[in-house]
Structure 1
């Protein structure tokens, strides 16, 4: 007797036994069905118990002895648990059609339910493996700045779509191709319902492919009040931890639809830019005579420059017979020009300034607030707090140096200034 014949004999054993003792055939069939289902349930429970307690526990022992952490993440995501459901499911797949052989309607319902469960189980297994891969890659340094959450969500969406297509095909009796044709016909409605999800999907792909934002990037997004480090990128949102330790959530689509500032270039460059202006009163700018220049030669940073520059200017004026009884004639040095040279020399001597990057001290167009003297250079230390200390140190020194050159800073008059002026005018 073949194996299948033996199984059929065992399944029909109680039915034949009951009928042998004179039981009604219909009742014998139903009692036989009930007994077979109870036995099958016990077998499935027993097999499931063995798989869960021996196979899975054995897998855990194996993973504890391996150096790789990938298998540890497999256990955390319940991958062995889901795979362990396959053996009892196989037993059900083999025996249920034989048990329900005399119940075609019930067998048809069983086929549908079994197919649905298999589809869901396959999706769970894929999801578990995907989570394992994502969590494992997060431990690898080369993937620290990659939007792994977004990648995994995109893949899961495709897996669920494929699974739902098979469920639809099973429910309707149509092929997957027919489902895709129906999906195309309803695409307008689907686009309307899932607009945000689709936009997020497209944005996630563009953000990842074009490397617009990485985890760990410092971004500034004024529209959403975000100014801090990107901590998470997923399908729908980007999470930013601001410098005050608050969190801002930005729709992923906004990263490609709106303008924002990513400071990654600064972080990857050798230095961080310092760019700030000092406003000089225009009426404090003047030509310098010899006595004033001699006084400024005591400043060690610009003493060599003044010596060489004044020699060059005197030679030019002498060769061209310039009348120097009037200071404006010929070539001259101004206090603003010398201060500009002093600021440049100071930056070149400053130990915190990167000498191989731009160091520029320049005039900008005069404004109602005076003459902007812009300082542009790069700090070696890019850390925010140290950068601010360096910037403050530079401008503390330059602002304090201005009076030595006979210059004045512009400052809008305050209420006290106006009251003092009116008081002096009244007294006079």
Structure 2
């Protein structure tokens, strides 16, 4: 082709040296024009038809492949293939043109395969099993292997050496590669353990205070786990740390259907006393403890009568206390609360007295695990308990404030 153009130019009385340059330039322009035309045909016609077909079929995989532009990337092979085919036009540069073109084709295939793997991950993520068995880490391993092989092939083409020679050299440099891909290797091992042991899945609420992670898992990849904290900040934690260090996974709480309440109120110890008749009559009017109170009074009377207790002094006889009665009330209140899970453990207990008073701990589970609903239920329960304590002649402990001292000074 170049010789034909050159001869035509020489026949038109153009200098031979100039004819050589012009013929090469004309051949290059001709190839560029053909390449552009073919590229436009592929992109404007073939890709458009393919995208339209994918939309009509409404298949998930076809739409996702189109969205990830897999076909658009593969379409770039066509114009490069034309350049590769026209390489013999330039005999002096044929080998290098073909090498560079073929290397570029391999690079395009690698990019397309990368997009294809992303599409596979996106398709897989549409299924429920993807939350428990994410495959992104494994796909990233495939990407690393494919890129390694592709780069080796490209280098072997450029230097005109067998790829096996390069691979044997890579074998000798294994120690260096292990050092370079240390985090990826650790991440791969961690991903396998996490998946096989079902330790973590997408959507789990995890806590790793050391690394500032406290929120839902958004993504599990080869090297990192992405967590969105409750303040909407996003933090990434190296995957291998989930194996080498401890973390809290709240999935068990979510699956159980109940979220734990474990909080104490502190009773002023000086307000604890035996119940007198006036108090007992008043307590009998409280619905939640009326029946229990009557039964306990019978039990106390039976005990005192059996042991012939001298009831002239309160210390001698078995007596009911306001703190014990209050504890029974709270137990029955929780049993009748519509938003407390009645199928899970409930405890109202005394803890070790402290300088802040006697802790009465409420241990129960709500029926709602959503954070907002849980906090609302918990607040509602303690609003009531704090407000009802004075009805049992009990005082909630509170350290003295400036108001207390001001009131004391005013009274004096």
Q: Determine whether 1:406 maps to 2:397.
A: no
Change (3 A) 1:177 1:312: farther
Match of 1:358 in 2: 345
Superposition map of 1:14-25 within 5 A: none
1:27-106 matches, within 5 Å, as 39-96=30-87, 98-99=88-89, 102-103=91-92, 106=93
- Give distance in 1, aligned partners of 2:408 and 2:42: 94
Aligned to 1:270: 257
RMSD: 3.7
CA change 1:80–1:193 in 2 (3 A) is: closer
Find the counterpart in structure 2 of residue 388 from structure 1. 375
CA distance in 1: counterparts of 2:112 and 2:51, whole angstroms: 17
Quick check: 1:272–1:380 contact (8 Å CA) kept in 2?
yes
How far does residue 346 in structure 1 lie from its aligned partner after superposition? 0.2
Residue 81 (structure 1) shift: 2.2
Q: Tell me, in whole angstroms, the C-alpha distance in 1 between the residues paired with 2:197 and 2:149.
A: 27
**How far has the Cα of 1:379 moved from its partner?**
1.1
1:159 counterpart = 2:146: yes
User: Cα distance 1:390–1:312, how it changes in 2: closer, same or farther (>3 A)?
Assistant: same
8 Å CA contact retained: 1:289, 1:327:
no
What 5-or-longer segments of structure 2 have no aligned partner? none
- What is the alpha-carbon distance in structure 2 between the residues aligned to residue 181 and residue 285 of structure 1? 84
1:158-177 mapped onto 2 (5 Å cutoff): 158-171=145-158, 175-177=162-164
TM-score between both structures, scaled by the size of structure 2: 0.83
Aligned partners of 1:287 and 1:328 also within 8 Å: no
The structure 2 residue matched to 1:368, chosen from 349, 355, 361, is 355
Question: Which whole-Å CA distance do the structure 1 matches of 2:129 and 2:298 have between them?
Answer: 59
- Pairwise CA distance, 1:221: 3.2
**Distance in 2 separating the partners of 1:50 and 1:358:** 71
Query: Where in structure 2 are the equivalents of 1:296-335 lying within 5 Å?
Result: 296-329=283-316, 331-335=318-322
Task: For residue 342 of structure 1, report the CA deviation from its aligned partner.
Answer: 0.8
Structural mapping, 1:96-245, within 5 Å: 96=87, 98-99=88-89, 102-103=91-92, 106-140=93-127, 143=130, 150=137, 152-171=139-158, 175-245=162-232
Deviation string 1:90-128 (CA, Å, 9 cap, x unpaired) is 5555553x445x54xx34323432332132021022122
Query: Shift of residue 24 of structure 1?
Result: 11
Q: Within 2, Cα distance between the matches of 1:152 and 1:114? A: 28
| Greater alpha carbon shift after TM alignment, 75-84 vs 352-361 | 75-84
Q: Which runs of 5+ in 1 are unaligned?
A: 1-9
Q: Is the 8 A contact 1:221 1:260 kept in 2?
A: yes
State the 1:308 CA deviation.
1.5
Higher deviation after alignment, 107-116 or 140-149? 140-149
Corresponding residue SS for 2:288: coil
Bigger shift: residues 139-148 or 230-239: 139-148
